[in-house]
């Protein structure tokens, strides 16, 4: 029988077939793209699902579309492919850096951006804070329906998504801005970062910050924007030292997370230096008009 209920991995050739298969599997199934998180389940002492629906061969999920006003990224696009596609778009430096420096080359060749966003238990995902500062929206597909929501909202509801609802696309508006991604990797832990700061800023005619979006990842269980720091940067020139000083004053709003690799306080303590690094990198970057 060539049905999801009769085999461990069902290879879906189209999105409707994949959604039907996930509905049939119900809570006993899950999508399988790059598999980098799923294959490490035994290390985390987590059981595998009885059934997986492979979505990595679905053309629309592995496509990247770059238009004048928007970039659309299929959920099964790998980190390596994403970094290569955005290499000549300066406004997306933050995402190209996040995808191109995450983990290691072997993982980047397999891990997908949709998997990065959908895995609730993976606090150190590089692409999540990068996408938060780029005002990303995501498309959720189910039988006969597609819903588009902001990434911040998706991060809130992703643990409760019903079987058969699948993240299929990431949508990014194009803006004139400078962006950068700063991370502190843990060499003994698969190059996963202790902390991440992603930054996107636009400037007015007087070279003052007109708008800022800053997101922090890996410090807490779920990445989030640093809105108080964003507000502190607006209306003045972007000065890396001053941005770091503001970060010192505001860092106490993060509680941090303990892990076997690092204590919570350390993750929080490195945020000001990462803010400074991100600001320096953003100022050094070319601006997309």
Q: Does residue 263 lie within any of the structural domains?
A: yes
Q: What is the pLDDT of residue 285?
A: 82
Q: Does residue 244 lie within any of the structural domains?
A: yes
Q: Does residue 198 lie within any of the structural domains?
A: yes
Q: Does residue 239 lie within any of the structural domains?
A: yes
Q: What is the pLDDT of residues 115-130, one digit of tens each?
A: 999 999 899 999 999 9
Q: How far apart are CA 246 and CA 199, in angstroms?
A: 15
170: Cβ–Cβ under 8 A, 6 or more apart, which residues? Answer: 72, 73, 75, 113, 114, 117, 131, 136, 137, 138, 139, 151
Q: What is the pLDDT of residues 182-202, one digit of tens each?
A: 999 987 655 789 999 999 999
Q: What is the pLDDT of residue 5?
A: 46
- Say how many domains are in the chain: 1
Do residues 163 and 29 lie in contact, with contact meaning Cβ atoms separated by under 8 Å?
Answer: yes
Find the domain containing 190 and state its range: 180-284
Q: Does residue 50 lie within any of the structural domains?
A: no
| Sequential DSSP letters for 80-115 | HHHHHHTTT-GGGHHHHHHHHHSS-HHHHTT-BHHH
Do residues 132 and 151 lie in contact, with contact meaning Cβ atoms separated by under 8 Å?
Answer: yes
Nearest to 100 by CA among 203, 4, 160, 180: 180
Q: Does residue 192 lie within any of the structural domains?
A: yes
Q: Low-confidence residues of the chain, pLDDT below 70?
A: 1-7, 188-190, 286-289
Q: Does residue 149 lie within any of the structural domains?
A: no
Q: What is the pLDDT of residue 41?
A: 80
Q: Does residue 52 lie within any of the structural domains?
A: no
Q: What is the pLDDT of residue 288?
A: 47
Q: Give the CATH number, domain containing residue 236.
A: 3.30.390.50
Q: What is the pLDDT of residue 206?
A: 97
Do residues 193 and 185 lie in contact, with contact meaning Cβ atoms separated by under 8 Å?
Answer: yes
Q: What are the tokens at 197? A: 């700061």
> pTM for this structure?
0.92
């Amino acid at each position: 029988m060539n049905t999801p209920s009769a085999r461990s991995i069902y290879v879906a050739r189209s999105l409707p077939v994949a959604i039907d298969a996930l509905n049939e599997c119900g809570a006993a199934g899950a999508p399988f793209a790059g598999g980098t998180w799923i294959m490490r389940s035994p290390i985390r002492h987590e059981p595998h699902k009885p059934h997986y629906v492979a979505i990595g061969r679905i053309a629309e999920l592995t496509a990247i579309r770059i238009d004048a006003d928007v970039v659309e990224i299929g959920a099964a696009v790998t980190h390596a492919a994403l970094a290569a596609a955005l290499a000549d778009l300066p406004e997306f430096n933050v995402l190209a850096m996040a995808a191109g420096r995450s983990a290691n080359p072997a993982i980047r060749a397999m891990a997908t951006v949709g998997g990065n966003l959908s895995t609730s238990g993976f606090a150190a995902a590089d692409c999540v804070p990068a996408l938060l500062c780029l005002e990303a929206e995501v498309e959720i597909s189910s039988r006969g329906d597609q819903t588009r929501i902001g990434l911040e909202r998706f991060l809130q509801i992703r643990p409760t998504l019903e079987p058969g609802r699948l993240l299929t696309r990431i949508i990014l508006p194009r803006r004139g801005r400078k962006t950068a991604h700063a991370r502190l990797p843990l060499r003994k832990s698969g190059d996963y970062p202790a902390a991440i700061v992603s930054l996107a800023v636009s400037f007015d005619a007087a070279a003052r910050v007109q708008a800022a979006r800053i997101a922090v990842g890996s410090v807490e269980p779920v990445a989030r924007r640093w809105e108080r720091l964003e507000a502190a940067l607006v209306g003045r020139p972007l000065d890396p030292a001053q941005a770091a000083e503001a970060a010192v004053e505001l860092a106490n709003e993060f509680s941090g997370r303990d892990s076997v690799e690092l204590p919570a306080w350390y993750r929080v303590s490195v945020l000001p230096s990462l803010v400074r690094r991100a600001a320096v990198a953003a100022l050094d970057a070319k601006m997309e008009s």
